[in-house]
Every structure is written in structure tokens, then in C-alpha cells.
Amino acid sequence: MCMLPKYELTDVMQGNLKQIRALRDFGNVKAGELGGFLESENNLSQDGDAWVSGDARVFGKAQVFGNAQVFGDAWVYG
């Protein structure tokens, strides 16, 4: 079964990072909810309940997956 993507990159920018928006409900996230900022879709898995919220930023080679939650003012990179 093909699952719909859980988020998309928006046009809202923080430097070279784009804000994400949930496309469907999952975990504690509701469709339409705005999240944190990513450099690319490689930074956040479309599977599981992983999410980046608030002003959190994930970039470089960092990857968030499984049920991981990145929030607040956290920066995850490397």
C-alpha cells in the first residue's frame, strides 16, 4: 500500500532552510500544521511519526526518523 507523504516543504524560508507543513494526520501532528525547518527532504523521513516543530532546524547530513521529535530552538546538523 502506498502511503501519502506526511509533509511538504513550503516557500517560507529561514536562511536556506524551508518550513514544513503536515499533509496528513500522524502521531500528535494534524494535517495543515506548520513545523520546523529543513534543508531538504533527506533530513526528515516520510515514514513513522518523526517530526520537526517550532523553530527547530535540521540540515546538512542530519536525518530525523522513527518516532524522533526535534522541537523548540534545537538545531540538528552534521
Q: Is residue 13 part of a domain?
A: yes
pLDDT, tens digit, 9 for 90 and up, residues 30-74 = 999 999 999 999 999 999 999 999 999 999 999 999 999 999 999
Q: Which residue range is the domain that position 40 belongs to? A: 7-76
Q: Is residue 21 part of a domain?
A: yes
Q: Is residue 1 part of a domain?
A: no
Q: Is residue 71 part of a domain?
A: yes
User: What's the domain count of the chain?
Assistant: 1
Q: Is residue 2 part of a domain?
A: no
Give percent helix, percent strand, percent coil of the chain, each to the nearest 5: 5, 40, 55
Sign (positive or negative) of CA dihedral 69, 76, 41, 54: positive
Distance, in Å, from the CA atom of 37 to the CA atom of 40, rounded to the nearest integer, reads 9
Q: Is residue 33 part of a domain?
A: yes
Distance, in Å, from the CA atom of 43 to the CA atom of 41, rounded to the nearest integer, reads 5
Mean pLDDT throughout 21-37?
97
Q: Is residue 57 part of a domain?
A: yes
